[in-house]
Structure 1
Amino acid sequence: MSEPSTEDYMIRFEDVAKRFGDHVVLDGLNFTVAPGEFVTLIGPSGSGKTTILRLLMTLEQVTSGTIHVDGECLTHVRRGDRLVPADEKHQQQVRKRIGMVFQQFNLFPNMKVLQNLTEAPIRSLGLSRAEAEARAHELLDLVGLSDKVHAHPTQLSGGQQQRVAIARALAMRPDVLLLDEVTSALDPELVAGVLRLLKDIAETTEITFLCVTHEMGFARDVSDRVLMFDHGHIVEDASPDKLFSEPDHERTREFLSAVLERG
């Protein structure tokens, strides 16, 4: 089968390396995510999973290689016959298509819930306040927090704050949503509700998801593909049924055995 064109991918990493000094975090990484696909990254701490999300959010810059989002290069621009590193303005333009939900919620504590959802769409997308607020109310209803519109984040539980963070990411109308261990800061009894919400969003929208999680049940239940990482490399790339039931690689079997035993 012939290799699909770049336009068939929502996300494409091509020969991406990331180093911090002598420490190699990602080493010649190549992978793609199709539009609307839900891809989950698993693997031990320090294997490079979160670095992938940070590169997509331009919180870090690649050492070498290129990243494309919906056919447009995020990391570089063409000058004549060569590619040069993209400036901040270009990266911001491409990054508008990407939303991210962090481990620690990252809500603005001085703003009420409504402002947390409207500030970025007004400033970055040019929405009117009325449009942004209408969208915010819809999203708060979606995440079950329509009664918290005038609350401050400190008045909410951890699970409620994470739901607001999800709604805030969706308010930017992203094509891509990045999830970085979104349940790791939550009390155990709150985890199921947040994961159920994310599954509903994945099933009812055309958003492309790239998810880092230690919740293996969630990864198996919601993913189209699962990538197993170790030392900056993809060890295994398979459907969740295949990877969790009959992994090909010993490193995957070792990791799953340790994680599931600990769980």
Structure 2
Amino acid sequence: MPTDTDHDLIHFENVTKRFGTGDKEITVLDDLCFSVRAGEHVTLIGPSGSGKTTILRLLMTLEKPDAGTIRVNGGKLYPADEKQRREVRKKIGMVFQHFNLFPHMSVLRNITEAPVRALGKSREEAEARGRELLDLVGLGDKCEARPAQLSGGQQQRVAIARALAMEPKVLLLDEVTSALDPELVAGVLDLLRDIARTTDITMICVTHEMNFARDISDQVLMFDGGQVIESGSPEKIFSAPEHERTREFLGAVL
């Protein structure tokens, strides 16, 4: 949980992002401003196309904003040169919907490759930490397996371990259970609850799992039309939303 000494770890200021050109141009983020404090767990909710995943992709430098400033841990992500972005980006880990594991590598190699290449860790150090993380996610016996030999839930656990191996200050979660069979969802969500409860990692989560959002969040942001239309504690947003659009959305998903 954040404390009084926490600061804004992530800050979006007047961020705009458009896709397409001409009469097919769509504004996905519209002069967006919001902040996330160090150690805070923030969940982004809202209808598909409201800009939630675009926020995560901007933080991962997979997209560039058309306007505005993004800061992470005091450093500028945008506007900034490529070297600055790479340095800021090292502090951020992301777990995607579809795992994105390297099929030709073992599970352990999937976890250790980035720390060796991007953080300059020795292979021995990276592998020791990788084995610890695989134990953490319940897959300590799968080090030499290939991703194709694992279930979807196991692959997502490997993806979570891979993100944690980069020692991120920020963990981004993009609909991490949407590609899983229903019986595998609970295990992955329980793992993420444990991470939220036992670490000081700042988390930004995009999800339609509202009970999960209620459990882990310090703050919930409701998005619509590329803007935050309402924000507050889980109790406020889920029990007493003020905005009619929030009430409509929650009525459809709860």
TM-score class normalised by the smaller sequence: over 0.9
Supply the distance in 1 between the matched residues of 2:83 and 2:111 (Cα, whole angstroms): 23
Equivalent in the alignment of 1:101: 95
Equivalent in the alignment of 1:37: 40
Q: Tell me which of 64, 67, 70 is aligned to 1:67.
A: 70
Supply the distance in 1 between the matched residues of 2:27 and 2:101 (Cα, whole angstroms): 32
Give 1:87 deviation, angstroms: 2.4
Supply the distance in 1 between the matched residues of 2:65 and 2:164 (Cα, whole angstroms): 26
Equivalent in the alignment of 1:83: none
Give 1:98 deviation, angstroms: 0.1
Equivalent in the alignment of 1:25: 28
Supply the distance in 2 between the matched residues of 1:100 and 1:211 (Cα, whole angstroms): 10
Supply the distance in 2 between the matched residues of 1:154 and 1:99 (Cα, whole angstroms): 23
Equivalent in the alignment of 2:221: 227
RMSD: 1.3
Gaps of 5+ in 2: none
Give 1:149 deviation, angstroms: 0.4
Supply the distance in 2 between the matched residues of 1:8 and 1:179 (Cα, whole angstroms): 21
Give 1:8 deviation, angstroms: 1.6
Supply the distance in 1 between the matched residues of 2:73 and 2:28 (Cα, whole angstroms): 25
Report Cα offsets for 1:149-201 as digits up to 9, x if no partner: 00000000000000000000000000000000000000001101100100100
Report Cα offsets for 1:39-98 as digits up to 9, x if no partner: 00000000000000000001000100000001111112xxxxxxxxx2222211110000
AA in 1 matched with 2:30:
D
* Alignment size in residue pairs: 247
Equivalent in the alignment of 2:246: 252
CA contact (8 A) 2:70 2:77 kept: yes
Supply the distance in 1 between the matched residues of 2:78 and 2:200 (Cα, whole angstroms): 24
Supply the distance in 1 between the matched residues of 2:228 and 2:139 (Cα, whole angstroms): 38
Equivalent in the alignment of 2:14: 15
TM-score for the superposition, normalised by structure 2: 0.95
AA in 1 matched with 2:9:
M
Q: Is 1:177 aligned to residue 180 of structure 2?
A: no
Q: Tell me which of 133, 139, 143 is aligned to 2:133.
A: 139
Supply the distance in 1 between the matched residues of 2:142 and 2:12 (Cα, whole angstroms): 39
Equivalent in the alignment of 2:190: 196
TM-score for the superposition, normalised by structure 1: 0.92
Supply the distance in 2 between the matched residues of 1:247 and 1:71 (Cα, whole angstroms): 32
Supply the distance in 2 between the matched residues of 1:35 and 1:107 (Cα, whole angstroms): 28
Supply the distance in 1 between the matched residues of 2:81 and 2:228 (Cα, whole angstroms): 29
- Alignment of structure 1 residues 107-146 onto 2, 5 Å: 107-146=101-140
Supply the distance in 1 between the matched residues of 2:81 and 2:150 (Cα, whole angstroms): 38
AA in 2 matched with 1:32:
S
AA in 2 matched with 1:153:
P
Report Cα offsets for 1:79-127 as digits up to 9, x if no partner: xxxxxxx222221111000000000000000000010011000000000
The sequence identity of aligned pairs, in percent, is 71
CA contact (8 A) 2:76 2:84 kept: no
Supply the distance in 1 between the matched residues of 2:88 and 2:229 (Cα, whole angstroms): 29
Supply the distance in 1 between the matched residues of 2:246 and 2:185 (Cα, whole angstroms): 25
Q: Is 1:52 aligned to residue 55 of structure 2?
A: yes
Aligned-partner SS, 2:49? coil
